Structure formats: C-alpha cells, structure tokens
C-alpha cells in the first residue's frame, strides 16, 4: 500500500498534466472556431481567390473542431516513464502543445504499444507504467507497475495495487466496457496484428476475445483509415442481444465506421431473433441445404398456370404444362439465375407460340417480330407471364419449403428421411412464428441463386444539387462533406467490406460462413471464438470446409488468450468442472480474481421453481451493483420472464442459454441447468457458456419432479 501523502502528490502531478491537456484542447477548439469565422469573414471580401481560401479554411477548421469537441471520458489514461528519462502520456486522442511537443499519444500509435506490451521480463525501455483513472476532468485514481526497478531513479514513487484488478471489480452496466486503459500484452499482440490476411483469436470464456476484436477494429481504422473507413468494417455477432451489448464500445473508442450485425440481421430487409433446436439448426446450417435450395429455385411456382391458351386469328394456341416445364428447364441452364433470365424465358415462350402458329398455318401470319409485339401487348398474356415466372424474392421460395410434398422432392436423396421430417415439422410454423436465425443464411443463399432482376441503372444523385433543382450556395466545406457522405453512404444491402470481424465464430454454421464469406470476398478478417462453447451439432468436417472457403488462402495469424478476466475464480471453477465432463484434457484459462464467495447451487420441487427464481433474482439484485442476468433453457424463456415481471427494471435481463453467448452480468441466476445439459448434442457446451457469464455471483436452481 502507498502512503496517502505520496498518493496525493502523484495524483496532483497527473492532475496538472490533465489540466494542461484540457486547457490546450480548449485553445485548439477556440482557434478552430476562430478559423472558421475568419473563413466566413473572408467571404465578404468577395474576390475569387478569397473565396477559395475561405472554403479551404472553413473546411479544415470545422473538421478539427468536430474531433476536438467529441469529448471523451478518460481522455488520458496512461503514462510511461522511459529509461531515457522521457515521459509519455497515452490517451484516446493525440494532442500536441503550442510548440508541437507531444502532450498525449494516441493509444493506437506505435509509440503507445509499449504501454500494453511491456512486462517486467521484457520492459521495452519502460521503467514505470501508470494507469490513470479520471472522472470528467478530475484524476481519481492512479495505479503503477514498476517494470524495471534497476533503472528507476531513487525518488520514483510507485502507487496503487493493480489497475487491472481494480477495473475488473467495477460493476457491469448494460453495455460491454471498453478496456482501452488495461489491455494486456497477449491481447495487444492480437489487436495490433497485421491488417492483411486472417487474424484468428481463440481462448476460453472471458479471455477478452470480443474486447480484442472491437479494439482491433478501432486499431485498423486508425492505422489505415482510407482503406478501412472507405471499404467499411463489418462486425458479426451471434444474436441481437449480443450486438446491442457490444454496440456502445466502438463509439467510445472513437470509431463509427464499423457496421454491427447479428447473424439474424445480415440479410437486408429481414431480421430474425428466433433460434431453432440444435438438431434443426444442424440441418438448416448444413452445406447440403445449398443443393436443396438449388432444386427449389428451378421448380414451378406453386399454383402457377397449368397451361397457356391464347386465341390468335381464330386459332387456339396452346402450351401445355409439359412444354412450359421444358421451356423453364432450358431457360435455366446450370448456374443461371432465375430472376436474371426472365426475359430469355419469355422469349422462349413467344418462340414456341410462333412455331405453333406456323404449324397450324394461321392465316396472314406476320413476321415473328411483329407477331411477338402483338402477343406481348395482350393483357391475358402478361397475366400469364406474371403468374408463370414472377420475380421471386428469396422469402417466396423459402415459403415453398413449408409444403411437405415440395420439401420431400427438393431434399430427397440429399437429406436423410429423418432430417426431412425434422425440417418439415420446423417449417410448419414459418408463417405463424416467423423466420429463425438459421433461415437468414438460407435467404441469403436463395438471393445468390435467384439473382437480381436486370434493372435500368438509377441516375446517381448529384451531391451538389439541392431539392428543386437549385444549385446550392454553401461553402466548399459543405460540398466536400456532402460528396464524402454520398460516397460513404452505403446502400442498405452493401455487401463488400474491407475487413470482416466474426465474433463467437464457433457458432457460425457452414451456410452462415457462406453468407458472411459473400460479404468479405476482398476483405481481410479477424475471427474470434472458442470451440468448446459451440452449440453446433452438425458435421464438423463440413464446418471446417465452409469456414476455409470463406477465409480463402489468406495468410493466417493465430493468437491464443489464456487469462479469464470475467469470472471470479470461484465461479469459473464450476464452469470448468462442467466442460471437463466432455473434454477432460482441454486447456482452460486462468481466472485472475477471487471474491471468496462460492456459487449457490439449489434444488427445489418443480412447483417452487417460480418463487425460488424470483427470490434468487431479488437477492442478487441486492448483492451486486450492476446487472443481473436470468439464463433459461430456450423453451422456458417467456415463462420465466413472466415470473419476474418488472423486477430489477433495466438492471435485470432474461435470456436463453443461446442468447447468453458473449454476454456478461454481475450476477446470474441459472434456471434449470439440468434441462440445458440434457440436450445430447451440445447440452454440456451450452451449459458451460451459461455458467461462465457472471462476474461476481452465480446461483443455479434445478427443479426436481
């Protein structure tokens, strides 16, 4: 422990520096605003040169002001005392003083790397590393690590007892916390790994995989803004709950150029939060579904016309079902996309009609072109085409799978009989209950198979033009901004990113890898996950194949994280015992924090489960400051939410064991763990996930019948 006088003195030292940084920021903000105003004043001079100068000035000043005004809590969070006597402060933003001296180094800059990577064994020239906590503009706490005692001057103070542990003991809010001040060496290496190729980060629960993935996105944007902000970074997580949980971190890192999606929201215009039972998800996620869907997109539209009949100059022209089917088949050679070859199919129908008219020796039969022009104008012919070969949306075709006869036809010989029955039962509720997360990848596949109807290109909006055709009268700065916004404004179905981050990758099915792969054909990748937490029960070899295909031949950089920062050692011991049932030899991370509080394991008569759950949740709400998660078996979620009502308000969340993926709560009530474990496919692994969500308190309640 440090004595109070030393602590106060050291805090005062850091406060002086922080005051200087904020004063400098205020100055920079003022001069940016002055430059902007001066720019506008120049405008009144009125000559052309002055106008151009004004525009440039206003633009740069406004841009700078925007950055400076984005106030950050904890702007400066670190300090390095180097062996050469130099002192560096590390923060969320780089700031220079009046004489261009460095007041703060951006955390992503190479000079800041030592803050994260230096260790006593390898101090990298750092004598003392200091972590600084502040609230608004006030320094509240400092924590030091002395990395190179031999090089420390005799008067160097070392205060505090571990910034990391202090951070970890803080209560959790509804969003994930940003760990920028306490990133550890092994994490930093993954964050700063090269931007090209594929960075693969694995590690057990709570080792910071998600935190690393998000900080990496921020790091890449810093290291090559043109490439990554221009092309965009896509971050994919397992569920909507999870995506909301991590959404707050990127803006707090100062990055808004990343697009966050759950696996259920990747297909434009559709979104799903419902999960399938693991055995159904295994069928829907299998690569064999691609072949099933290929058959579906070639099939006749349900209830489409049995035949085409047209009276032409007194003769009945007629194409029967068989002929129509033949035309459809020929118009769809392998690889053709149904929505893209509509025109060719219509031409084939017209040709068949003309051939028939000639065969029937229709009187005064015009040239083929004139004949076709005449037929195509007929309303009944147009009606026929619309019904026979409509523009198909992937959702239409997925709907065809709800018809058992069609499903059998498409899946016969590809899926096993038992799998077809499973799928058929699952799709019975598609229209009433809506899509599941696994269906979204099928829609994306169908979209790729169907293609887009050929459309005339829309004229691009001129960013210099205002509504009503009036040329705008604003500054060059405004126009620049508009042009950039137009370039950045990605269409809703933008699908090619410069970098793709996949979190909880162990739960991405083969079909989902195809969906994500289509969005990262030209991208570099960061893939993070923990195979021991997977809920996938399908073919493992197929999964590897699909993943390898998505990642291609890009060079891979592997990282493994070994410390669990989330769970108390007592809680992780329970989770570890669970996964050891399945994998006795699995290397597990080490939990660094002990609370001295053992998890509570209760067994109650089934009838008492509701009361016991409410009571346990109430107790935990009293015991922890932050959030409480109530985790349930999938089928029980709504029932349990009903028991709890409004208890805990926004501090309490009820989630299924699958939605709990990646989440974190200070206290967890796990309802009916034996029911989760009972699933023969992925039960133990899913229970392992549920048991490793709590930072401080865990209560499990099992009903007995």
Ligand X SMILES: Nc1ncnc2c1ncn2[C@@H]1O[C@H](COP(=O)(O)OP(=O)(O)OP(=O)(O)O)[C@@H](O)[C@H]1O
What's the min distance (Å) between Cβ of 669 and ligand X?
Answer: 18
Give kind and range of the element (H or E) at residue 374.
helix 368-376
Q: With contacts defined by CB under 6 A, name the span among 182-190, 217-225, 280-288, 384-392 that binds ligand X.
A: 182-190
Does 658 sit near ligand X (CB under 6 A)?
A: no
Stretch that binds ligand X, among 207-215, 276-284, 453-461, 481-489 (CB under 6 A): 207-215
| Sign of the CA dihedral with 106 first, then 108, 109, and 110 last | positive
Of 591, 610, 590, nearest to 672 (Cα)? 610
Residue 203 counted as an annotated binding residue: yes
Nearest residue (CB) to ligand X, 512 versus 695: 695
Minimum gap (Å) between residue 267 Cβ and ligand X: 24
Check residue 664 for interaction with ligand X (CB under 6 A): yes
What are 699's strand-pairing partners?
A: 600, 669
Annotation-wise, does 49 bind a ligand?
no
Rounded CA separation 216/230 (Å): 17
**Judged by CB under 6 A, which of 131, 133, 182, 696 binds ligand X?**
182
Shortest distance, position 602 Cβ to ligand X, whole Å: 24
Map 120-176 to HEC letters. Answer: CCCCCCEEEEEEEEEECCEEEEEEEEECCHHHCCCCCCCCCCCHHHHHHCCCCCCCC
User: Which residue among 123, 203, 463, 633 contacts ligand X (CB under 6 A)?
Assistant: 203
Question: Using alpha carbons only, what angle is made at residue 627 by residues 625 and 632, rounded to the nearest 5 degrees?
Answer: 140
The pairing of beta strand 198-203 with beta strand 556-561: parallel
The binding track of 558-577 with respect to ligand X, each residue x by CB under 6 A or -, is -------xx-----------
Which H or E run contains 656?
strand 652-656
Options 40-48, 72-80, 177-185, 458-466: segment touching ligand X (CB under 6 A): 177-185
Is 206 labeled as ligand-binding? yes
Residue 211 or 423 with smaller CB distance to ligand X: 211
Q: Is 613 among the annotated ligand-binding positions? A: no
For residue 237, give the nearest of 273, 285, 286 by alpha carbon: 273
Asked if 184 is part of the footprint of ligand X (rule: CB under 6 A), the reply reads yes
Q: How far is the CB of 63 from ligand X (least distance, A)?
A: 32
Nearer to ligand X, 167 or 223 (CB): 167
CA distance linking residue 11 with residue 15, whole number of Å = 6
Tell me how many residues contact ligand X (CB under 6 A): 24
Retrieve residue 219's tokens: 């790091």
Give 272's contacts (C-beta < 8 A, 6+ positions apart): 264, 265, 434, 435, 436, 437, 439, 440
Q: Binding to ligand X by residue 245, rule CB under 6 A?
A: no
Residue 518 makes contact with ligand X by CB under 6 A: no
> Tokens for 375?
């037929």
Torsions phi, psi for 520 (to 5 deg) = -130, 35
The answer to whether residue 507 forms part of the interface with ligand X (CB under 6 A) is no
Q: Which of residues 527-546 bind ligand X (CB under 6 A)?
A: 530, 533
Among residues 11, 58, 159, 211, which is the contact residue for ligand X, using CB under 6 A?
Answer: 211
Residue with smaller CB distance to ligand X, 203 or 394: 203
By the 8 A CB rule, do 543 and 509 touch?
yes
In the bound state with ligand X, the residue whose beta carbon lies nearer, of 372 and 666, is: 666
Question: Measured between alpha carbons, how far is 88 from 80 in angstroms, rounded to an integer?
Answer: 5
Distances (CA, A) of 481 to 59, 60, 256, 477, 484: 9, 11, 16, 6, 5
Of 210 and 627, which CB lies nearer to ligand X in the complex structure?
210
Tell me the per-residue interface mask from 134 to 173 with ligand X, x by CB under 6 A, - otherwise.
------------------------------x--xx-----
Q: Minimum distance between the CB of residue 608 and ligand X, rounded to whole angstroms?
A: 31
Q: Cα(251)–Cα(249) distance, rounded to whole angstroms?
A: 6
- Give the helix/strand (H/E) hosting 95: strand 95-96
593 part of the interface to ligand X, by CB under 6 A: no
- Does 208 belong to an annotated binding site? yes
| Closer residue to ligand X, CB minimum distance, 59 or 565 | 565
Closest contact distance (angstroms) between CB of 589 and ligand X is 9
Does 97 count as an annotated binding residue?
A: no
Q: How far is the CB of 696 from ligand X (least distance, A)?
A: 12
Rounded to whole angstroms, the Cα distance separating 53 from 476 reads 10
User: Measured from the CB of residue 181, what is the shortest distance to ligand X in angstroms?
Assistant: 8
Asked if residue 205 binds ligand X (CB under 6 A), the reply is yes
Q: Angle at Cα 277 formed by Cα 276 and Cα 278, nearest 5°?
A: 105
- What are 471's strand-pairing partners? 465
Q: Can residue 206 be called a binding residue for ligand X (CB under 6 A)? A: yes
Dihedral over Cα of 192, 194, 197, 203: its sign: negative
Shortest Cβ 73–ligand X spacing (Å): 16
Window contacting ligand X (CB under 6 A); options: 203-211, 393-401, 534-542, 602-610: 203-211
* Alpha carbon distances (Å) from 315 to 28, 297, 305, 365: 86, 34, 20, 11
- Position 183 contacts ligand X (CB under 6 A): yes
Q: Which of 74, 160, 208, 285 binds ligand X (CB under 6 A)?
A: 208
Q: CA 325 to CA 328: how far, in whole Å?
A: 5
Should residue 187 be labelled a site residue for ligand X when binding is judged by CB under 6 A?
Answer: yes
Residue among 14 and 503 whose Cβ is closer to ligand X: 503
b/e map 486-509, b = 16+ CB within 10 Å: eeeeeeeeebebbbbbbbbbbbbb
Pairing label, strands 76-82, 87-91: antiparallel
The minimum distance between CB 629 and ligand X, in angstroms, equals 13
CB of 173 to ligand X, least distance (A): 10
Q: Applying CB under 6 A, which residues contact ligand X?
A: 164, 167-168, 177, 179, 182-184, 187, 203, 205-211, 530, 533, 565-566, 662, 664, 692
**Known binding site for ATP: residues?**
203-210
């Amino acid at each position: 422990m440090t004595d109070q006088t030393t602590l106060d003195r050291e805090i005062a030292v850091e406060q002086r520096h922080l005051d200087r940084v904020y004063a400098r920021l205020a100055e920079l903000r003022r001069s940016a605003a002055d430059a902007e105003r001066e720019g506008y004043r120049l405008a009144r001079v009125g000559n052309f040169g002055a106008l151009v100068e004004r525009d440039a000035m206003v633009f740069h000043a406004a841009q700078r002001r925007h950055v400076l005004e984005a106030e950050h809590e904890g702007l400066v969070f670190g300090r390095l005392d180097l062996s050469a006597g130099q002192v560096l402060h590390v923060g969320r933003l780089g700031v220079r003083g009046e004489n261009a001296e460095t007041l703060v180094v951006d955390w992503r800059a190479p000079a800041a790397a030592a803050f994260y990577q230096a260790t006593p064994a390898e101090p990298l020239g750092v004598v003392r590393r200091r972590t600084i906590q502040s609230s608004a503009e006030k320094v509240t706490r400092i924590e030091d690590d002395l990395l190179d005692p031999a090089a420390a001057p005799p008067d160097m103070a070392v205060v505090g007892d571990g910034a990391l542990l202090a951070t970890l003991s803080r209560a959790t809010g509804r969003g994930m916390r940003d760990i920028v001040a306490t990133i550890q060496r092994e994490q930093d290496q993954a964050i700063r790994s090269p931007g090209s190729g594929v960075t693969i980060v694995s590690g057990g629960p709570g080792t910071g995989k998600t935190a690393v993935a998000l900080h990496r996105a921020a790091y890449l944007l810093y290291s090559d803004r043109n490439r990554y902000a221009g092309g965009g970074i896509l971050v994919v997580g397992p569920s909507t709950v999870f995506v909301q949980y991590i959404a707050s971190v990127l803006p707090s890192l100062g990055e808004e150029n990343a697009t966050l999606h759950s696996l259920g929201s990747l297909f434009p215009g559709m979104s799903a939060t419902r999960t399938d039972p693991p055995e159904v998800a295994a069928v829907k996620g299998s690569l064999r579904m691609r072949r099933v869907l290929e058959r579906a997109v070639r099939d006749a539209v349900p209830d489409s016309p049995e035949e085409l009949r047209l009276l032409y100059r007194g003769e009945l022209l007629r194409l029967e079902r068989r002929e129509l089917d033949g035309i459809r088949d020929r118009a769809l050679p392998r690889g053709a996309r149904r929505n893209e070859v509509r025109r060719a199919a219509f031409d084939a129908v017209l040709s068949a009609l003309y051939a028939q008219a000639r065969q029937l020796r229709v009187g005064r039969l015009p040239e083929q072109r004139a004949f076709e022009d005449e037929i195509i104008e007929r309303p009944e012919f147009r009606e026929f085409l619309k019904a026979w070969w409509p523009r198909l949306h992937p959702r239409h075709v997925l709907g065809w799978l709800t018809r058992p006869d069609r499903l059998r036809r498409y899946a016969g010989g590809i899926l096993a009989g038992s799998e077809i029955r499973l799928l058929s039962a699952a799709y019975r509720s598609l229209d009433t209950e809506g899509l599941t997360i696994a269906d979204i990848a099928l829609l994306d596949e169908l979209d790729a198979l169907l293609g887009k109807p050929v459309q005339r290109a829309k004229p691009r909006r001129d960013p210099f033009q205002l509504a009503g055709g009036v040329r705008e009268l604003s500054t060059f700065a405004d126009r620049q901004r508009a042009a950039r916004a137009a370039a950045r404004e990605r269409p809703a179905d933008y699908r090619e990113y410069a970098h793709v981050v996949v979190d909880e990758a162990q739960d991405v099915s083969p079909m989902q890898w195809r969906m994500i792969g289509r969005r990262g054909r030209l991208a570099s990748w960061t893939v993070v996950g923990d195979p021991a937490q997977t809920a996938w029960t399908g073919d493992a070899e197929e999964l590897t194949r699909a993943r390898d295909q998505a990642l291609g031949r890009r060079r891979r950089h592997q990282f493994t994280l070994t410390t669990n920062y989330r769970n108390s050692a007592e809680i992780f011991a329970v989770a570890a015992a669970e996964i050891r049932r399945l994998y006795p030899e699995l290397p597990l991370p080490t939990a660094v924090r002990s609370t001295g509080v053992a998890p509570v394991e209760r067994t109650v008569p089934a009838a008492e489960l509701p009361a016991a759950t409410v009571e346990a949740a109430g107790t935990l709400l009293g015991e922890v400051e932050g959030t409480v998660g109530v985790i349930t078996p999938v089928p029980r979620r709504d029932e349990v939410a009903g028991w709890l009502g409004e208890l805990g308000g926004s501090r309490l969340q009820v989630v299924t064991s699958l939605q709990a993926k990646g989440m974190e709560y200070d206290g967890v009530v796990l309802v009916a763990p034996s029911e989760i474990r009972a699933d023969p496919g992925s039960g133990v692994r899913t229970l392992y996930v549920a048991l490793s969500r709590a930072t401080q308190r865990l209560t499990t309640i099992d009903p007995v019948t």
